């Protein structure tokens, strides 16, 4: 699992492919008849090779991989084509044959470490049953060995713990241990790190690389991130709406994408885009056209004043620890920064860094333990209820989950109109006109008004959320992971929309995210948070070009796609 071309060594080319998928079609029986999730899929994995399937949600990438290990959900089946594992067609193999192959010959590392371990059994038990089912020695020492090979320290005592006592990264290591416990010849890794923090992602992927290289395991890597795929795999297969649209050696595919979808993907993948900006800067190329159009034609005179000043902000939560006792947990510790009008400031950090707590305090949804938030010269903690109502009009949020943040019982018109009605703005006719304008602004057709959230895609919903935030003509918008739940191309569209709205309306954004790649594209200033503290702050260029703190460097290095820049001759740190 390495981007290097070592695997092309003599010998491999003449061998029989380990996995060969030919003209594969997978259908799902639904109440509306049979739906084809995958059509004419084909891919080949040679022994020891890493092949990545890249695609957005619903592209059929996971379905294809699950078919290869015979784990399609109950209503799905292979309707045509072949899956040849070491020459044997297993597309319609008996369950008995599949049980023989699973674990032993084909292993799997699933996506979500939180839900893929059984919560009621100890980690060691879950490893042991894997060894036992495949006829391998399964004593405590064997279990500990498997776990320690997956990079779990103190594995003998860790094996006696339950999944909920593990962090996400440790659980993923346990799942990797399970997937590789029987040294299978093929490992299916379905988004193995997408639920983890970026720095942990990198460690886990590096370790997986090392193990599969040592064992000579072939890997089928499923990912939505083209940068990650190109960095980790020898071959990349791009899937779009159930079909393979393009495949080939990763570097070649990245440098010379043929299919329009791949071209768009190469252009939009945040990891690649941010690397590209970085590379171009080092070549001295003008990068403005690569950045989202954020700083053109902004309302000039107010540009310098600081609309938000955060001073020594602290938030301490009391954690209950039984029998009325409590311990203090400092979620936000002495954070100070300021936001200039009409600019975008990003707060970056991993889960637990306190970034969302800051956002909630700025929104005045959570009272700070100490410190001040000064909005337009006024300390927000001193606002009375009337002033607070006015404040809410000027500061609006956009949240992460486009599925959870819209009321499913409200149609889109009512959703966007609600803030106008709450703040008693205009009459019925003028509010409807305003909603129409807002829909235009976020590039949704006006017919959307009568629809309900469940009829819209994730990207469309997030546009509705943006329209709702804009309804009151706010000055500041707090985006809490506003694009994290979206597919890459949709993410790029929404980011562009946000940037365009900023230049048109002079908006100020406070952008909370864990994704530095997105920051590079949209932010003017960056605040890096770690464990409640602000570790580094500066202009985006400064932070990316010359990070001062080790933690920032680690975050930057964790953006996938290092070392495979476009143009490729540019060396990137």
User: Which one, 71 or 291, has the nearer CB to another protein?
Assistant: 71
- CA distance linking residue 354 with residue 4, whole number of Å: 38
Selection from 141, 174, 134 nearest residue 156 by Cα = 141
Strand partners, 339: 308
Cα separation, 182 vs 457, in Å, equals 41
Q: Which is closer to another protein, CB of 103 or CB of 459?
A: 103
Q: Considering only the stretches 125-133, 144-152, 406-414, 469-477, report the one whose residues sit in contact with another protein under the rule CB under 8 A.
A: 125-133
Toward another protein, which CB reaches closer, 13 or 120?
A: 120
In contact, 40 and 251? CB cutoff 8 Å: no
**How large is the C-alpha radius of gyration of the chain?**
25
Residue among 118, 256, 326, 450 that touches another protein (CB under 8 A): 118
- Mark 128-167 with x for binding to another protein (rule: CB under 8 A) and - for no binding: -xx--xx---------------------------x-x---
Output the smallest distance, CB 325 to another protein, in A: 10
DSSP string for residues in 345-402: EEEE--TTSSHHHHHHHHTTSS--SEEEEEETTEEGGG--HHHHHHHHHHEEEE-S-T
Q: Which stretch binds another protein (CB under 8 A): 11-19, 126-134, 409-417, 473-481?
A: 126-134
Q: How far apart are CA 511 and CA 356, in angstroms?
A: 10
CB closer to another protein, 30 vs 382: 30
- Sign for the CA dihedral angle at 193, 194, 197, 198 comes to positive
Q: Closest separation between CB of residue 104 and another protein, Å?
A: 6
Residues in region 27-86 near another protein by CB under 8 A: 69, 71, 73
Least Cβ distance, residue 66 to another protein (angstroms): 8
Binder of another protein out of 62, 63, 64, 104 (CB under 8 A)? 104
Q: How far is the CB of 95 from another protein (least distance, A)?
A: 7
The CA angle 401-404-408, to the nearest 5 degrees, is 140
The residue from 115, 312, 430, 450 that contacts another protein (CB under 8 A) is 115
Buried b (16+ CB within 10 A) or exposed e, 365-395: ebebbebebbbbeeebeebeeeeeeebbbeb
Rule CB under 8 A: is residue 387 a binding residue for another protein? no
User: Out of 110, 354, 371, 474, which residue is the one contacting another protein (CB under 8 A)?
Assistant: 110
Beta bridge partners of 397: 478
- Residue 67 Cβ vs another protein, minimum distance, rounded to whole Å: 13
Rounded least distance, CB 39 to another protein, Å: 24
**Residue 136 or 570: which CB sits closer to another protein?**
136
How many residues bind another protein (CB under 8 A)? The answer is: 36
User: 117 vs 528, which CB is nearer to another protein?
Assistant: 117
* Sequence-distant (≥ 6) Cβ neighbours of residue 204 within 8 angstroms: 169, 172, 173, 176, 192, 193, 196
Nearer to another protein among residue 181 and residue 478 (C-beta): 181
CA–CA separation, 392 and 465 (whole Å):
16
Minimum gap (Å) between residue 61 Cβ and another protein: 16
Site string for another protein, 161-200 (x = CB under 8 A): -x-x----------x--xx-xx------------------
- Restricting to residues 313-342, name those near another protein by CB under 8 A: 321-323
Shortest Å, Cβ 107 to another protein:
7
| Beta strands at 235-240 and 50-54: parallel, antiparallel or unpaired | parallel
- Cβ at position 182, least distance to another protein in Å: 7
- Residue 349's contacts (CB-CB under 8 Å, 6 or more residues apart) are 355, 514, 528, 529, 530
Query: What 3-state class would DSSP assign to 243?
Result: strand
Distance of CA 383 to the CA centre of its chain: 37
Nearer to another protein, 301 or 324 (CB): 324
Among 86, 112, 209, 306, binds another protein (CB under 8 A): 112
Residue 107, interface with another protein (CB under 8 A)? yes
Q: Which is nearer to another protein, 26 or 101 (CB)?
A: 101
Length in residues, the chain? 573
Task: Determine the Cα–Cα distance for residues 426 and 430; give it in Å rounded to an integer.
Answer: 6
∠ Cα 171 143 95 (to 5°) = 80
From the CB of 68, what's the least distance to another protein, in Å? Answer: 11
Could you tell me which residues are beta bridge partners of residue 335? 313
Interface with another protein, residue 100, by CB under 8 A = yes
Positions in the binding site for another protein (CB under 8 A): 69, 71, 73, 95, 99-104, 107-108, 110, 112, 115-122, 129-130, 133-134, 162, 164, 175, 178-179, 181-182, 321-323
């Amino acid at each position: 699992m390495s981007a290097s071309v070592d695997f092309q060594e003599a010998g491999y080319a003449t061998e029989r492919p380990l996995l060969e998928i030919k003209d594969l079609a997978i259908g799902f029986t639904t109440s509306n008849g049979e739906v084809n999730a995958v059509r004419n899929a084909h891919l080949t994995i040679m022994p020891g090779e890493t092949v990545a399937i890249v695609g957005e949600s619903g592209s059929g990438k996971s379905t294809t991989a699950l078919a290869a290990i015979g784990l399609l959900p109950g209503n799905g089946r292979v309707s045509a084509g072949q899956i040849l594992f070491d020459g044997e067609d297993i597309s319609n193999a008996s369950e008995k044959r599949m049980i023989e192959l699973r674990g032993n010959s084909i292993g799997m590392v699933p996506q979500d470490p939180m839900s893929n371990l059984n919560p009621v059994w100890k980690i060691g038990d879950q490893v042991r049953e894997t060894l036992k089912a495949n006829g391998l020695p399964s004593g405590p020492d064997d279990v500990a060995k498997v776990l320690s090979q997956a990079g779990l320290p103190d594995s003998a005592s860790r094996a006696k713990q339950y999944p909920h006592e593990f962090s996400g990264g440790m659980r993923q290591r346990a799942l990797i241990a399970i997937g590789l416990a029987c040294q299978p010849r093929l490992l299916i890794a379905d988004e193995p790190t997408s639920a983890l923090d970026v720095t942990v992602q990198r460690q886990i992927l590096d370790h997986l690389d090392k193990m599969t290289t040592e064992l000579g395991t072939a890997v089928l890597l499923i990912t939505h991130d083209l940068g990650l795929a190109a960095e980790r795999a020898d071959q990349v297969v791009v899937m779009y709406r159930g079909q393979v649209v393009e495949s080939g050696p990763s570097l070649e595919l990245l440098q010379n994408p043929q299919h329009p979808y791949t071209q768009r993907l190469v252009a939009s993948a945040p990891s690649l885009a941010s690397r590209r900006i970085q590379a171009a800067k080092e070549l001295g190329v003008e990068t403005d056209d690569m950045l989202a159009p954020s700083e053109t034609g902004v309302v000039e005179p107010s540009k310098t004043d600081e609309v938000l000043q955060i001073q020594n902000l602290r938030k301490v939560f009391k954690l209950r620890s039984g029998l009325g006792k409590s311990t203090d947990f400092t979620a936000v510790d002495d954070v100070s920064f300021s936001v200039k009008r009409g600019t975008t400031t990003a707060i970056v950090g991993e889960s637990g860094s306190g970034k969302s707590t800051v956002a909630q305090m700025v929104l005045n949804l959570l009272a700070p333990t100490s410190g001040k938030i000064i909005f337009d010269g006024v300390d927000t903690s001193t606002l009375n209820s009337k002033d607070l109502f006015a404040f809410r009009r000027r500061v609006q949020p956009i949240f992460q989950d486009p599925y959870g943040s819209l009321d499913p019982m409200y149609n889109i018109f009512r959703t966007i109109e609600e803030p106008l009605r709450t703040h008693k703005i205009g009459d019925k006719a003028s509010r409807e006109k305003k909603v129409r304008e807002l829909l235009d602004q976020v590039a949704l057709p006006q017919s959307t008004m009568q629809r309900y959230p469940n009829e819209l895609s994730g990207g469309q919903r997030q546009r509705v959320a943006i329209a709702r935030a804009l309804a009151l003509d706010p000055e500041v918008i707090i985006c809490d992971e506003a694009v994290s739940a979206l597919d890459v191309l949709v993410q790029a569209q929404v980011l562009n929309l946000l940037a365009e709205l900023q230049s048109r309306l002079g908006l100020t954004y406070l952008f909370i995210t864990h994704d530095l790649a997105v920051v590079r594209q949209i932010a003017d200033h960056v605040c890096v948070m770690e464990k409640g503290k602000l570790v580094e702050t500066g202009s985006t260029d400064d932070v990316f070009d010359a990070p001062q703190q080790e933690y920032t460097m680690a975050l930057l290095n964790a953006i996938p796609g290092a070392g495979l820049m476009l143009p490729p001759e540019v060396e990137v740190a």
